[in-house]
């Protein structure tokens, strides 16, 4: 058997939920805007005039509030230059260099000095805001993310509007390091940075392009009581792509049998590892784990002619992996490989890298600065997505 390459393969006709109906690549609007000779045109697809104008207006209002009746102002063009410097600072991994040193004649980066004066940069950094403080208290009653939600939602809309992904998608959580005063900061002991703001991300596997992202803000009133959090998040993030034949790969936090069935109704195929304490798993699995040989595997179907399958693979002497799939209806194993990987496990390993790569890029090209306001740190996440 030839190892599975991560592409969807089927002998005969595809099941209805595996028929891919989209045309991947740039959408019509983006194709008309983007000039291959101008990287700025691609940037403006995601950070459009609406975003730059809104940030400039909110920044000007904040400056007037702090300085009391001043003529201080910033134009959309200058705000774009400021954001460009933030991008360069992240792309060159120079966020640990202090602002004065960036403008230093001996050690600084020339483009900073050529773009704007140092004191002007520090002023903009101080006053930058993403909402109107006069209406903030009212908006925060219904939207905990209200200090940056308008900008964030617009950016995510632009990400989906400009690009149509290929068939394989992946989703996971990402902890954005942040120790600022924030009502929904999370502590996650298994992350390199223990404290931060948690986001749920949906990415394309091939390009690692972020398609959708929502912050975790605590208990959500919109989630029905009988639906688990992971189940609700998957349906929420994949809503723009339903009935188009996409495949979604996720880890054991999200995977459950009810989710797989709901995804089938929306014409998605779903592949994900499962926690062994799920009630829907076969009762004989704990016994099988002790009797199975290493690198052996078993295949289960929910019922006869079911589209939901379970692959049970013993990867280590004392550890086995459960993988639920609505894509794999046969138990194909690579007998030529030492570990005898089932095709479902190979497919999962190949397609579970999208969000992990985004997380690595976020840490490597971070635009974090000395600014201690959490909306500014969230805004930096969107900048890194562009990088």
At 73 the pLDDT is 92
Q: Which two tokens stand for residue 99?
A: 């602002």
Mean pLDDT of the chain: 85
CB atoms within 10 A of CB 227: 15
pLDDT-derived band at 384 (thresholds 50, 70, 90) equals low
Region 222-236 average pLDDT: 90
pLDDT band at 9 (very low <50, low <70, confident <90, very high): very low
User: What is the end-to-end Cα distance of the chain in Å, rounded?
Assistant: 40
- What pLDDT shows up at residue 288? 80
Average pLDDT over residues 219-243: 90
Domain ranges (residues) in the chain? 16-25+166-219+228-356, 41-146+366-386
Q: Mean pLDDT across the stretch 148-154?
A: 93
21 has pLDDT over 80: yes
pLDDT of residue 3: 31
pLDDT: is 375 or 360 the higher one?
375
Spatial contact of 327 and 263, defined as CB atoms under 8 Å apart? no
Is the pLDDT confidence value at 124 over 70? yes
Long-range CB contacts (within 8 A, 24+) of 66-71: 66/127
What confidence tens digit (pLDDT) does each residue in 50-63 have?
999 999 999 999 99
Q: Sign of dihedral through CA atoms 360, 219, 217, 51?
A: positive
Q: What is the DSSP letter of 363?
A: H
**Three-state SS at 90:** helix
Residue 378: enclosing H or E segment and its boundaries? helix 374-386
Judged against a pLDDT cut of 70, whether residue 44 lies above it is answered with yes
What is the reported pTM?
0.87
| pLDDT value at 43 more than 60 | yes
- Residue 305 confidence class, pLDDT cut points 50, 70, 90: low
Average pLDDT over residues 229-237: 94
For residue 79, which of 39, 38, 47, 35 has the smallest C-alpha distance? 47
Interatomic CA distance for residues 158 and 130, integer angstroms = 17
Distance (Å, rounded) from C-alpha 159 to C-alpha 122? 30
For residue 285, the model assigns a pLDDT of 82
CB-CB contact of 1 with 335 (8 Å): yes
Distance CA 363, CA 46 (A): 21
- pLDDT-derived band at 255 (thresholds 50, 70, 90) equals very high
Query: What pLDDT does residue 377 have?
Result: 82
Confidence of residue 177 (pLDDT cuts 50, 70, 90): confident
Q: Among residues of the chain, what percentage have pLDDT more than 90?
A: 39
Q: How far apart are CA 174 and CA 176, in angstroms?
A: 6
The b-or-e profile of 59-78 (16+ CB within 10 A means b, else e) is bbbbbeeeeeeeeeebeeeb
What confidence score (pLDDT) does residue 280 get? 84
Of the pLDDT bands very low, low, confident and very high (cuts 50, 70, 90), residue 315 is confident
Beta bridge mates, 199: 174, 215
**Separation of CA 217 from chain center:** 16
- What region, left, alpha or beta, does residue 68 occupy, with left being phi > 0 and alpha being psi -120 to 50 degrees? left
Q: Which helix (H) or strand (E) holds 273?
A: strand 269-274
Which residues, including other chains, have CB under 8 Å from residue 162's CB and lie 6 or more apart? 26, 27, 29, 30, 45, 46
What is the structure's pLDDT at 163?
92
Mean pLDDT check: name the lowest of 127-136, 193-202, 334-343. 334-343
Q: How high is the pLDDT of residue 233?
A: 95
Q: How far is CA 341 from the centre of its chain?
A: 28
Q: Which residues pair with 26 in a beta bridge?
A: 163
Q: Which of 277, 240, 280 is nearest to 261 (CA)?
A: 280
pLDDT digits (tens, 9 = 90+) for 181-222: 888 888 888 877 788 889 999 999 988 888 999 999 988 888
């Amino acid at each position: 058997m030839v190892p599975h390459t991560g592409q969807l393969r089927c002998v005969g006709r595809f099941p209805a939920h595996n028929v891919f109906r989209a045309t991947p690549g740039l959408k019509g609007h983006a194709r008309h805007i983007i000039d291959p000779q101008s990287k700025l045109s691609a940037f403006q697809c995601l950070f459009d005039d609406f975003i730059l104008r809104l940030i400039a207006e909110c920044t000007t209002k904040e400056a007037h509030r702090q300085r009391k009746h001043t003529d201080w102002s910033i134009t959309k063009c200058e705000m774009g230059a400021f954001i460009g410097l933030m991008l360069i600072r992240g792309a060159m991994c120079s966020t640990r260099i202090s602002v004065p040193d960036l403008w230093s004649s001996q050690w600084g980066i020339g483009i900073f000095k050529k773009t704007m004066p140092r004191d002007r940069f520090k002023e903009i950094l101080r006053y930058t805001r993403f909402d109107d403080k006069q209406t903030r208290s009212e908006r925060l009653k219904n939207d905990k993310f209200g200090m940056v939600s308008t900008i964030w939602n617009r950016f995510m809309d632009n990400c989906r509007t400009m690009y149509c992904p290929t068939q394989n998608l992946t989703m996971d959580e990402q902890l954005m390091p942040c120790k600022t005063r924030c009502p929904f900061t999370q502590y996650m002991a298994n992350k390199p940075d223990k404290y931060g703001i948690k986001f749920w991300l949906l990415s394309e596997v091939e390009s690692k392009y972020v398609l959708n992202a929502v912050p975790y803000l605590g208990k959500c009133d919109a989630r029905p009581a009988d639906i688990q959090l992971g189940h609700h998040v998957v349906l929420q993030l994949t809503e723009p792509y339903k009935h188009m034949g996409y495949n979604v790969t996720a880890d054991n936090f999200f995977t459950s049998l009810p989710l797989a069935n709901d995804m089938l109704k929306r014409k998605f195929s779903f592949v994900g590892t499962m926690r062994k304490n799920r009630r829907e798993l076969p009762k004989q699995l704990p016994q099988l784990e002790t009797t199975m040989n290493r690198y052996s595997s078993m295949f289960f179907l929910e019922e006869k002619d079911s589209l939901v399958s379970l692959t049970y693979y013993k990867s280590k002497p004392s550890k086995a992996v459960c993988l639920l799939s609505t894509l794999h209806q046969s138990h194909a194993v690579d007998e030529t490989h030492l570990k005898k990987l089932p095709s479902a496990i190979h497919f999962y390993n190949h397609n579970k890298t999208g969000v992990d790569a985004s997380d690595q890029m976020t840490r490597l090209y971070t635009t974090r600065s000395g600014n201690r306001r959490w909306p500014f740190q969230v805004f930096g996440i969107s900048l890194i997505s562009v990088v």
